[in-house]
Chains A and B, each alone.
Chain A
Amino acid sequence: MSAATICPSIPSDEELLGRFTTGERSALDELFRRYRQPAYRVAHRLLGNEADALDAVQEGFVKALTHLSGFQGRSSFKTWLLRVVSNAALDLGRQRGRRETLSLDNNLGGERVHAQLLTSDQAGQGLEQADLRMLLDLALATLSDVQRQTFVLYADAELTYREIAELMSTSIGTVMSRLYYARQKLRAYLSERTVP
């Protein structure tokens, strides 16, 4: 359900896209404000740093809006945008060799992270949380591209299985399978690197 059906004063994505195509700058601002966060989270998870993630977000918005004819309302704009952003991020990651960098386990120095961190109660643990984020990124780097993309679209962009299947041009069963095996690998990786 679009926001416009809840509150008439909030324009739908379709309205904003229509206004964008007529050259209204504020429509782009609103679309960017609306979807920058999920796009950035997906890109950051796939690339591991803010600068590259912002590059991928920029690339994704530009491509998604330049090629609206390819979108044609077959899915939501969010799904279309995240498809382009995640593909741009994977492409950028390949160009910049993120996986090789991460595989060095830099900054963690091979130390084990205390399992206590693997809870949601982490207030006041800024530095340790940064380590945990690094560990989570390293775990993601062990997955194949399609597994990482699937997991990140589910966990960070909060897309449904159906939306991910549409986005990746595959079946819901495949999404289900990728998510299961992705979590198995993440769990195995993290359990080896945490202490009770």
Chain B
Amino acid sequence: MNRKRNDQGSAGFGGARDQEPTPEQLAAWADGELPWPEARKVEAWLARHPDQAHDAEAMRSMVRLYRDNAPPEPSADAWQSALDVIESRLAAPAAAARPPGRPWRLRLIVGLIGAAAVFGGILLARVRAPAPAPFPFIEHGPGQIAGVEDDEIFSVASASEIHIIRVDVQDADRIVMDQPLIGTFELAAPEDINIVKVERNPDEGPMPRLQRRAGVPMIVIVRPEEEEEQDP
């Protein structure tokens, strides 16, 4: 399917009488996944351009090719063996919750953090350094920041924008390791961040500009933009 994309993208489809659907819409129509008002428009367009029907068929046939050549099924013994493993792992919930190797790594991370904390505490006591000055920005109370209501909670990242690379041990049971986040998750305590500025975006609500407090470890990595939507 190499048809030229219409200039208005999917939003523009259906405006002018002969405006062609986008390739993505045609593929979705071939899959039977286009809502009926749009599907009807595609059908009307195809009726006027029957030579384009092969594009839709090519999309459909690629899926059929994979479905017709599904991987061979495991034997009955292999299925039973897999079920036995699942049952045995579920019978030992603590071990089942994490894949092999992870408890060791988790313990190492917790151990290192603990050791660092103890070592840091000893150093601090010996040096008898004065307590660090309070972070100047946390004195901002609710309502003092323009554009933010009292106790307002807002998202700073969507689930698809972050990878969790470490979780404090007290939070270990709150998420499924290696899985996308479900619902909301607190990435930092209020005292860990400084809200520099808040702009209220009419589409997305408050959009804060954040600054991490010095010494707070980085715990998230922002994924790069996905590229496939920009393919020709």
Contacts and interface: CB of A to CB of B under 8 A. Distances in A.
Q: Do A and B bind each other?
A: yes
Contacts of A77: none
Contact of A187 (B58, B160, B226): B58
Chain B interface size, under 10 / 10 to 19 / 20 to 34 / 35 or more: 35 or more
B179 interface: yes
B74 A32 contact: no
Given A84-B176, A133-B71, A177 B24 contact: yes
B170 to A, nearest CB: 16
Given A32-B86, A136-B66, A187-B58, A44 B71 contact: yes
Task: Give the size range of A's interface with the partner.
Answer: 35 or more
A179 B27 contact: yes
A122 B90 CA distance: 41
B31, B158, B228 — which one has the most chain A CB atoms within 10 A of its CB? Answer: B228
Contacts, number: 145
Interface in B66-116: 66-74, 78-79, 81-83, 85-87, 89-90, 93, 96-97, 99
Contacts of B66: 45, 136, 151, 155-156
Interface in B36-86: 58-59, 62-74, 78-79, 81-83, 85-86
Interface in A104-158: 118, 120, 122, 129, 132-133, 136, 144, 146-147, 151, 154-156, 158
Nearest to B181: A169
B18 interface: no
B221 to A, nearest CB: 16
Contacts of B1: 184, 187
A120 B64 CA distance: 8
B231 interface: yes
B31 A120 contact: no
Contacts of B176: 63, 67, 70, 84
B10 interface: yes
A151 B25 CA distance: 16
Interface in B159-179: 159-160, 175-176, 178-179
Q: Which of B70, B87, B159 has the most CB of A within 10 A?
A: B70
A62 B229 CA distance: 34
B79 A87 contact: no
Interface in A44-97: 44-45, 50, 53-54, 57-59, 61-63, 65-67, 70, 74, 83-84, 87-88, 91
B33 interface: yes
Interface string A152-191: 0011101011000000111001101111111110110000
A36 B159 CA distance: 28
B33 A160 contact: yes
B69 A133 contact: yes
A3 B229 CA distance: 37
A16 interface: no
A68 to B, nearest CB: 10
A28 B86 contact: yes
A62 B24 contact: no
Nearest to B81: A54
Contact of B69 (A62, A74, A132, A144): A132
Given A32-B83, A63-B179, A181-B231, 6 more contacts: A41-B70, A62-B90, A70-B179, A70-B182, A122-B68, A178-B228
27 contacts: A28-B87, A36-B79, A50-B71, A54-B74, A54-B78, A58-B85, A62-B86, A62-B90, A65-B86, A66-B96, A67-B97, A87-B180, A88-B178, A120-B64, A136-B69, A155-B63, A156-B67, A156-B70, A169-B159, A169-B160, A170-B160, A176-B25, A176-B33, A179-B24, A179-B28, A180-B23, A184-B231
Interface of A: 25, 28-29, 32, 36-37, 40-41, 44-45, 50, 53-54, 57-59, 61-63, 65-67, 70, 74, 83-84, 87-88, 91, 118, 120, 122, 129, 132-133, 136, 144, 146-147, 151, 154-156, 158, 160-161, 168-170, 173-174, 176-184, 186-187
